[in-house]
Amino acid sequence: MEGPLSGFKVVELAMWVAGPATAAVLGDWGADVIKLEDPNGGDPIRGMITRTTSNPELHVRPPYELDNRNKRSVAVDVRKPEGHGFALRIIDSADVFVTSLRLDALERMRLDFATLAARNPRLVYASLNGYGHRGPDRLRPAYDYAAAWARSGLMATIQEPGFPPPAQRPAMIDHAAGLGLAGAISAALLARQRTGRGCDVTVSLFSMGLWMNATDLTIGLMTGRAPESEGRTQRINPLWSSYRCKDGKWIYFVMVQADRFWKPFCEALGHREWVEDPRFAHAGVRAKNCAAMTALIDQVVATRAREEWTPVFDSHELIWAPVNTDAEVLNDPQAHAIGAFGAVDHPTVPGSRVVNSPIEFGAFQPKPHRVAPELGQHTEEVALEVGLSWDEIGRLKQAHAIL
């Protein structure tokens, strides 16, 4: 079965994570993705290697492989007139153009929406940047750590009072933004079927961070008082918090409907007397006595290892989860059951896998991912596809416009 975007052609001019992740998702869904790269080194993320393998001499590039699977690489210098003309020929035949370059750079290179739409009215132009496409910071450089994690309020909101702001792991919100933009592109392609015309679709890392923080921000919008960070003993619901087990591993209870789960929770922890304790009888008084309740739960949870608690919590149908390390996630049977990790046909790293994008389409079963391309690996192939002759390809090479 073909993917839902089989037959669509996507051209990507993007670097690092969010833009390439967008195109990677489209490739997962069946699109033909062509990645335009500067011949002088290509996407900078190519340089991010790791030596954390069983073979210390084996340099692999997991970040690059993750977000550039299922693509073809064309090395073209769009700053040269010859390279710019070649890039336009590729984009003229595309359904989608994905970019994460800054808006002023796109205007200077004449690769902005107005220019490309005038040449290809059916083009869906997808642009992702740091802080948005309007306003005083529209040209401000950014990574997701700054624009989405720090400035959106997420970092401060989950900060434990009195402690430094918590660190984010690489590209967490980049990938959310890429998935969101891929969905918007699909909607724009559907609209094109009705109208016959493409359009521009945009997202920013800042707006994605705001969306991820939307619940707290909406409370502030509607009440005039935005939530502030809270410590474990300050929360209104001690059944919605983290606790440490005897073996040092953590669990997280998420009983949002505290009164509904109160009795089975007390029974699971072996303290039925808490049900009748006037300090904890209902959610309202537990909120006032959160510190005392949290301390009692801390003491009980610390008496058993997490593995011992698992069948107890599950038998009482509590809502909880282990706070897994990455190493534990890689061995989580549920992650494997849902096909979270996909094989890559890698020529030098047998058995390679990457994380699959999370959307599934019925009976469509993706094949193993094609390995992320080497710089310029498909330049000649794509040039021939858009109608260039070998003589024209040779002249582009002589002009150092392509690799």
3-state secondary structure the chain: CCCCCCCCEEEEECCCCHHHHHHHHHHHCCCEEEEEECCCCCCHHHHCCECCCCCCCCCECHHHHHHCCCEEEEEECCCCHHHHHHHHHHHHCCCEEEECCCHHHHHHCCCCHHHHHHHCCCCEEEEEECCCCCCCCCCCCCCHHHHHHHCCCHHHHCCCCCCCCCCCCCCHHHHHHHHHHHHHHHHHHHHHHHHCCCCEEEEEHHHHHHHHCHHHHHHHHHHCCCCCCCCHHHCCCCCEEEEECCCCCEEEEECCCHHHHHHHHHHHCCCCHHHHCCCCCCHHHHHHCHHHHHHHHHHHHCCCCHHHHHHHHHHCCCCEEECCCHHHHHCCHHHHHCCCEEEEECCCCCCCEEECCCCCCCCCCCCCEECCCCCCCCHHHHHHHCCCCHHHHHHHHHCCCEC
Q: Is the pLDDT of residue 117 over 80?
A: yes
Q: Kindly report the CATH number assigned to the domain that includes residue 236.
A: 3.30.1540.10
Give the residue-averaged pLDDT of 347-364: 90
Q: What is the pLDDT of residue 52?
A: 60
Identify the domain boundary among 279, 299, 325: 325
Angle (deg, nearest 10), helices 205-212 and 214-223: 70
Asked whether residue 332 is assigned to any structural domain, the reply reads no
Q: What is the pLDDT of residue 57?
A: 62
According to DSSP, the β-strands at 32-37 and 9-13 are parallel
One domain, residues 320 and 344: no
Q: What is the pLDDT of residue 1?
A: 75
Give the angle 34-38-40 at the CA atoms, nearest 5°: 140
Using CA atoms in the order 79, 80, 82, 83, what is the torsion angle rounded to 10 degrees?
Answer: -40
Q: Is the pLDDT of residue 78 over 90?
A: yes
According to DSSP, the β-strands at 32-37 and 353-355 are unpaired
Asked whether residue 142 is assigned to any structural domain, the reply reads yes
d(CA 128, CA 22) in angstroms, rounded, equals 9
Q: What is the pLDDT of residue 390?
A: 98
Q: Is the pLDDT of residue 235 over 90?
A: no
Identify the domain boundary among 325, 358, 386: 325
Asked whether residue 360 is assigned to any structural domain, the reply reads yes
The domain of 239 spans 232-325
Percent of the chain with pLDDT over 70: 98
Q: Is the pLDDT of residue 225 over 80?
A: yes
Number of domains in the chain: 2
One domain, residues 108 and 142: yes
Q: Is the pLDDT of residue 230 over 70?
A: yes
- Going across the sheet that includes 341-345, the strands are 353-355, 341-345, 369-370
Give the residue-averaged pLDDT of 24-41: 97
One domain, residues 154 and 66: yes
Nearest to 373 by CA among 25, 4, 16, 36: 36
Asked whether residue 85 is assigned to any structural domain, the reply reads yes
Give the residue-averaged pLDDT of 131-145: 96
Asked whether residue 227 is assigned to any structural domain, the reply reads no
Asked whether residue 221 is assigned to any structural domain, the reply reads no
Residue of higher predicted confidence among 228 and 196: 196
Asked whether residue 331 is assigned to any structural domain, the reply reads no
One domain, residues 14 and 114: yes
One domain, residues 129 and 159: yes
Q: What is the pLDDT of residue 392?
A: 97
One domain, residues 55 and 194: yes
Backbone angles phi and psi of 34, in degrees to 5: -110, 125
One domain, residues 204 and 239: no
One domain, residues 99 and 247: no
pLDDT averaged over every residue in the chain: 95
Residue of higher predicted confidence among 48 and 175: 175
pTM for this model (two decimals): 0.93
Q: What is the pLDDT of residue 58?
A: 63
On the CB side of 373, how many CA atoms lie within 13 Å of its CA? 21
Give the residue-averaged pLDDT of 174-200: 98
Lowest-confidence segment of 16-20, 37-41, 59-63, 142-146 by average pLDDT: 59-63
Q: What is the pLDDT of residue 348?
A: 81
One domain, residues 26 and 162: yes
Q: Is the pLDDT of residue 191 over 90?
A: yes
| Tens of pLDDT, residues 306-352 | 999 999 999 999 999 999 999 999 999 999 999 999 999 888 888 88
Identify the domain boundary among 325, 355, 382: 325
pLDDT bracket for residue 80 (50, 70, 90): very high
Q: What is the pLDDT of residue 363?
A: 84
Asked whether residue 4 is assigned to any structural domain, the reply reads no
Q: What is the pLDDT of residue 229?
A: 87
One domain, residues 39 and 185: yes
Percent of the chain with pLDDT over 90: 86
Nearest to 149 by CA among 105, 208, 192, 96: 208
One domain, residues 117 and 183: yes
One domain, residues 369 and 304: no
